[in-house]
Structure 1
Amino acid sequence: MNKQQLAAFEAEWRPRINQYLDQQLQACSDRPTLAASMRYSVLAGGKRLRPLLTLAVLDVFGVTITPAHLRASTAVELMHTYSLIHDDLPAMDNDRLRRGEPTNHVKFGEDVAILAGDALQPLTFEWIADSGLPATMIAQQTLALAQATGPKGMVAGQVADVLGAGRHLALPALQQLHREKTGALIHYAVQAGLIQAEVPTAIQDPLLAYADAYGLAFQIYDDILDVTSTPEELGKATHKDADEHKNTYPGLLGLDGAQQALKQAVAAAEAALEQAQAISEREMTLLAAFLTYFTD
């Protein structure tokens, strides 16, 4: 795995993603307060992991990234931001800090924050629909995103998280919760690239297995950081999960057990990439480099 390869890819594409988001959201609404609220959270920073994963899949399969690909691939960041705005609300996680800045509802009020999230969700589908990609591709990507974020995906996981607070969940239930809440949108990010690159099903399967293992590793790593990091390091409150009796991997398995589970998830992702490379005869080092996020 090559951290330099990932750093070079991020250096090329993250600024372009950020610039695109900034430009396209300048006239996102004729209501100034709504537009300001939407832009505030979307442009607050972040790794841009999900659109980067989509673009990385296109790169692996030799697809030249056109403005249509960029628009359809970047749209996921709007959906991700909507989920963060709503997740931070007092009725949910009640967070006052996100990426080192006040959360949206602290800055704009709960009512506007809710509506900003409500606006970002359909705008996500608008960007995919008017991207200029072929109609069949648009339909496939729209369906995949709706499934990933709807009542059997991200929202289902959020409900399980809210209702599970204060109750002990067994490991299978915790894994299912995070497959939905966190993993579904990462699964979709890889899937979107596979759709746009028109990758055959036999090659899609191991790459979606990679995405699922990556999503699991991402959540375990996030849980570990909540225990081991400071608010200054993370840009958000830490130790809240334990304080609020949320179900986490360190809480269930202990810190050592969580770190071992993280290693197992990374190993599963690596194995899936090896399988995909053998079937496709495509080099998967760029996708493997994304796993360096979980290593020092």
Structure 2
Amino acid sequence: MLEKFKQYLEQNFPKTQSFHPFFNEALKWMLQAGGKHFRAQLLLGIVNAKNPALFDKALDAALALEFIHTYSLIHDDLPAMDNASLRRGRQTLHKKYDETTAILVGDALNTQAFLLLSKLDLKESIRLKLIETLAFNAGINGMIIGQAIDCYFEDKPLNLEQVEFLHIHKTARLIAASLKMGCEICELGEKECEQIYEIGLLIGLIFQIKDDIIDATLDTKDAGKPTHNDTHKNSFVKLLGLEGAKKAKNDKITLCEEKMRNLDSKLTNELGILINKYLKG
């Protein structure tokens, strides 16, 4: 599944016709850098478990998620936000080119994601649902307000409930949306969609705690991005301590696995593979 998506991404980097000397190269710079493709795998994992005949048609939806996630990283790394010089083991876009290019590439990937969804080879009603789900979770009700809180409250300690709110919105909602979009492609019932979305929010929080632990314990070379960088941020490690964050992560994994027992076995297996690969340890 991952290899199929990587091949599809390589064959479908965004590009435009113009006389700009390097914009098309900039568009694919961070997409080429790799990453886990975790969100794309979640969407495709649902489709693979529930209706594998739709797998090929779902690839552009997975690509849209990858574009949205990558745009958010490009903007997150900008001097106005985290001012990072490294991402996925290579120079950040504003360091490789310039700040203007980084802003515009982020904008391009954001809008291109919705263009992809609008052209999917699926029923119009499904396309509209997918656009709505991604817009809600990546926009002001999800990733954007999470990022706004993250930036505004640097060096302003939050309590645990507030830190969870921050990271549910900044990180977990897009991860949960990935699962929900897979459900929508397969036309699952509303109750099952919501059940899987709630599990996705939990997976998203686990993902964030793991990321906080990586920031606290790995060096820049191993992480592929600047680490020990969250001293000004409201992270789980900063609030709970390293051991407390590890315990919180393991507790949430246990809760997630309990909730997954209510899903069908194929879906439990698909999600279990991704949790074991990316979230445990």
TM-score normalised by L of structure 1: 0.90
Are 1:233 and 2:250 an aligned pair?
A: no
Instruction: Encode CA deviations 1:10-50: one digit per residue, 9 max, x unaligned.
Output: xxx22322222222226345344221111001111111111
Instruction: Encode CA deviations 1:213-247: one digit per residue, 9 max, x unaligned.
Output: 100000000001101111111001110101xx111
Are 1:86 and 2:71 an aligned pair?
A: no
Are 1:15 and 2:3 an aligned pair?
A: yes
- Of stretches 253-262 and 28-37 in structure 1, the one that deviates more from structure 2 is 28-37
Q: Structure 1 residue 282: deviation in Å? A: 5.0
Task: Decide whether the 8 Å contact of 2:54 with 2:186 is kept in 1.
Answer: no
Instruction: Encode CA deviations 1:168-194: one digit per residue, 9 max, x unaligned.
Output: 100000000001101111011001100
Are 1:37 and 2:21 an aligned pair?
A: no
**Match of residue 249 from structure 2:** 262
In structure 1, what is the Cα distance between the partners aligned to 2:14 and 2:137?
A: 28
1:271 pairs with one of 258, 262, 265: 258
Tell me: CA distance 1:252–1:151, structure 2 relative to 1, closer, same or farther (3 Å).
same
1:121 pairs with one of 110, 128, 132: 110
Task: Decide whether the 8 Å contact of 2:15 with 2:27 is kept in 1.
Answer: no
**Match of residue 122 from structure 2:** 133
**Match of residue 37 from structure 2:** 48
**What are the residue-to-residue correspondences of 1:169-208 with 2, within 5 Å?**
169-208=158-197
2:234 pairs with one of 247, 271, 275: 247
Q: Percent identity?
A: 34
Aligned length: 279
In structure 2, what is the Cα distance between the partners aligned to 1:73 and 1:112?
A: 24
Are 1:287 and 2:259 an aligned pair?
A: no
Q: Structure 1 residue 295: deviation in Å? A: 2.0
In structure 2, what is the Cα distance between the partners aligned to 1:125 and 1:138?
A: 10
Q: What is the identity, as a one-letter code, of the residue corresponding to 1:257?
A: G
In structure 2, what is the Cα distance between the partners aligned to 1:256 and 1:106?
A: 35
Q: What is the identity, as a one-letter code, of the residue corresponding to 1:14?
A: L
Higher relative contact order structure (alpha carbons within 8 Å, sequence separation ≥ 6): 1
Task: Decide whether the 8 Å contact of 1:63 with 1:197 is kept in 2.
Answer: no
Secondary structure, counterpart of 1:27 in structure 2: coil
Tell me: CA distance 1:109–1:283, structure 2 relative to 1, closer, same or farther (3 Å).
closer
TM-score normalised by L of structure 2: 0.95
What are structure 1's unaligned runs of at least 5 residues? Answer: 1-12
Q: What is the identity, as a one-letter code, of the residue corresponding to 1:147?
A: F
Task: Decide whether the 8 Å contact of 2:75 with 2:81 is kept in 1.
Answer: yes
In structure 2, what is the Cα distance between the partners aligned to 1:282 and 1:112?
A: 43
**Superposition misfits of 4+ residues, deviation over 4 angstroms:** none
Task: Decide whether the 8 Å contact of 2:45 with 2:267 is kept in 1.
Answer: no
Task: Decide whether the 8 Å contact of 1:18 with 1:43 is kept in 2.
Answer: no
Secondary structure, counterpart of 1:241 in structure 2: coil
In structure 1, what is the Cα distance between the partners aligned to 2:188 and 2:30?
A: 33
What are structure 2's unaligned runs of at least 5 residues? Answer: none
Task: Decide whether the 8 Å contact of 1:141 with 1:192 is kept in 2.
Answer: yes
Instruction: Encode CA deviations 1:142-177: one digit per residue, 9 max, x unaligned.
Output: 000000111111010000000010101000000000
